[in-house]
Structure 1
Amino acid sequence: MKDLYASDALGADNSDVLATFGGPGMRHSIRPRRTVMDNEDEFDGDLSFEEPLPVAAPKITQYVSDDRAPRWQDLPIATPGPGGDMPLVDDHRNSAAARAFDLLRTRLRQTILEHGWVNIAVTAPTSGCGNTFSATNLALSLSRVPGSRTVLMDMNMRNPGLARAFDTDAPGAMSDLLAGRTSLGQQMVRVSDTLALGLNDQPEVNAAEILQDSATAETLLRMRATLQPEIVLYDMPPMLEHDDLSAFLPQLDGVLLISDGSQTMARHLRECERMLEGQVPLLGIVLNRARSSSLPKYA
């Protein structure tokens, strides 16, 4: 079981939660702010913070309703299977892991509601850091808020993984939806009254070009106008391996960065921060698989 450690997210009181789930651990801090690293390349799992990142001006977006598109309640229902390829905290609602993701969820919701944000990317510096795992479980936690609407989109078109995570079939290619070749009703599914998924059934080598296409912006605008979600989470490829996230920045209100305590280096985080600075707020860094030495001990 992993230890997940949630701390210092938005509140002034630094209250801590120690959780256990699947591999060494996690820390997260949710706030548009600057991370400060020393000169060591090896990341030791401890983050300090100083001045906030400059917050970009709110995007002025006109939602245009499409009467032909299905509404939230009209989306087809998909039932997740038992054989998903990653642990889902919904299967263990009394676990400390579920409580840790709930803490992350609540503080993220406070931030987006305060600023009127909707579109949040979940990404990582390099592959293998656990961003799909984090995006999936964060979406499940968000969906437990009564009356809410969360959309989770598989925008990692180079290596789609959400259909496997939920052990369900993807209706088609995400590239077809974004280009307007398939409709929302054909591509989007609901797994509950409060959670909808945009799944993908095939890799796409031209992902960055698709994400920069004006048709993609129009499709996502139509999706938000029709489904009226409170938050849209986009599971994205690693920032330092592809230009997909950079291509998609105009569509985003904020970014959550998933760091792996066993492989992420300080220079990786500095480079990710540099790429985002002045464009989109870095809402926080989630440290996955933290070293046990960096986690506090409780009697």
Structure 2
Amino acid sequence: MKDLYASDALGADNSDVLAAFGAPGMRHSIRPRRTVMDQEDEFDGDLSFEETMPVTTQTVAHYVGDDRVPRWQDLPIATPGPNGDMPLVDDHRNSAAARAFDLLRTRLRQTTLEHGWVNIAITSPTSGCGNSFSATNLALSLSRVPGSRTVLMDMNLRNPGLARAFDMEAPGAMSDLLGGRSSLGQQMVRVSDTLALGLNNQVEVNAAEILQDSTTAETLLRMRASLQPEIVLYDMPPMLEHDDLSAFLPQLDGVLLISDGSQTMARHLRECERMLEGQAPLLGIILNRARASSLPNYA
């Protein structure tokens, strides 16, 4: 991955960073869908969506806010550093990547507002597909909506990376926040009026057990009741490598799946869909690193 401040880090023809969403044959609408694929195992970016999936909206208990818990405006302010380890489209607002994230942002907001959804996971079938990159840049795009509130949580407890992405010091271990051993005010920071981050500085080998603990569910309910975000994005580990995402499904309203045009197979996507069926809606499959020749040119 090129340095954040390289002049061509997010050039429109740089498919190594992010080609663009919306390659031919790929619908970009954010709706619960069932993916229908042919018998080819190799995924080449020509993916169509058909047959609407039944919506399985999660039933989540409501938590009554506690006056002792910090509100949005009470969170400590922190400033991202200049040396994050992944490109941020905010620095290249006229790029194809920035326009793609803005389109995804708008469609996601429309769907979550329509259904009353808040909790959205960003995951991938296997490692290296770019889900942390996508989660970071989608959160930044969402935060540009005036008056909005977006929370981005580093829930990849086995390989936390959001602190490095923002070139910031994580206040502590996410497991301490989820387990009730640290408070929202200690663990979470606000980088703008519209974006808050839950960062992590500790690797957890028992990640799946932490994610399905009832204390985790209660902590996240308390966080949402206190901060009142429109959308909470959870940067999650790959679905097919650990059971972390499966353990966390009861807390989710929907899932965005990041597919890598250079490594993701159709069988990977079929298996992810099977794991999600009846558990949480698959809101869309986002194609990352598509072949440059497959991208439409609207110039």
Give the corresponding residue for 2:21: 27
The answer to whether the Cα contact below 8 Å between 2:15 and 2:292 also exists between their aligned partners in 1 is no
Give 1:93 shift: 2.2
CA distance in 2, matches of 1:3, 1:293: 17
Letter in 2 for 1:105: R
Q: Does residue 67 of the first structure (1) align with residue 67 of the second (2)?
A: yes
Task: Say if 1:20 and 1:97, in contact at 8 Å, map to a contact too.
Answer: no
SS for the counterpart of 1:50 is: strand
Counterpart AA for 1:139: A
- Name the structure 2 match of 1:133: 133
Structure 1 CA distance for aligned equivalents of residues 67 and 13 of structure 2: 46
1:259 aligns with 2:259: yes
Shift of 1:203: 0.6
CA distance in 2, matches of 1:167, 1:22: 24
1: CA distance, partners of 2:287 / 2:99: 16
User: Is the Cα–Cα contact under 8 Å of residues 44 and 294 in structure 1 kept in the other structure?
Assistant: no
On the 8 A contact 1:101/1:141 being kept in 2, the answer is yes
* Map 1:1-299 → 2, pairs under 5 A: 23=16, 25-28=19-22, 29=28, 30-297=30-297
Across the aligned residues of Structure 1 and Structure 2, the Cα RMSD in angstroms comes to: 1.6
Q: Which amino acid aligns with 2:256?
A: L
| 1:120-171 deviation per Cα after TM superposition (whole angstroms, max 9, x unaligned) | 0000000000000000000000000000000000000000000000000000
Q: Distance in 2 between matches of 1:129 and 1:247?
A: 21
Cα distance, 1:3–1:165 mapped onto 2, change above 3 Å: closer
Q: Deviations over 1:63-111 (max 9, x none)?
A: 2201111110110111000000000111122323211111100000000
Deviations 1:230-278 (A, max 9, x none): 0000000000000000000000000000000000000000000000011
Name the amino acid aligned to 2:19: G
- Which stretch shows the higher mean deviation, 177-186 or 88-97? 88-97
Q: CA deviation at 1:61?
A: 2.5
For structure 1, the 5+ residue unaligned runs are 5-18
Q: Please, which moves more after superposition, 186-195 or 92-101?
A: 92-101
Kindly tell me: are residues 3 and 181 of structure 1, through their superposed partners in 2, closer, same or farther at Cα, counting changes over 3 Å? closer
Aligned to 2:4: none
For structure 2, the residue ranges without an aligned partner over 5 or more in a row are 1-7, 23-27
User: Residues 129 and 259 of structure 1 are in contact (CA less than 8 Å); yes or no, is this contact kept in structure 2?
Assistant: yes
Matched letter for residue 25 of structure 1: A
Residues in 2 aligned to 1:201 and 1:295: alpha-carbon distance in whole angstroms: 37
Q: Provide the aligned length of Structure 1 versus Structure 2.
A: 285
Return the offset for 1:31: 1.4
- The list of structure 1 runs, each at least 4 consecutive aligned residues, that deviate by more than 4 angstroms after superposition, is 1-4, 19-22
Sequence identity of aligned pairs in percent? 85
Q: Give me the whole-angstrom Cα distance separating, in 2, the residues matched to 1:81 and 1:124.
A: 27
Q: CA deviation at 1:42?
A: 0.4
Query: Per-residue deviation at 1:279?
Result: 1.1
CA contact (8 A) 1:33 1:282 kept: yes
Whichever residue aligns with residue 143 of structure 2, its letter is S
User: d(CA) in 2 for partners of 1:230 and 1:195?
Assistant: 10
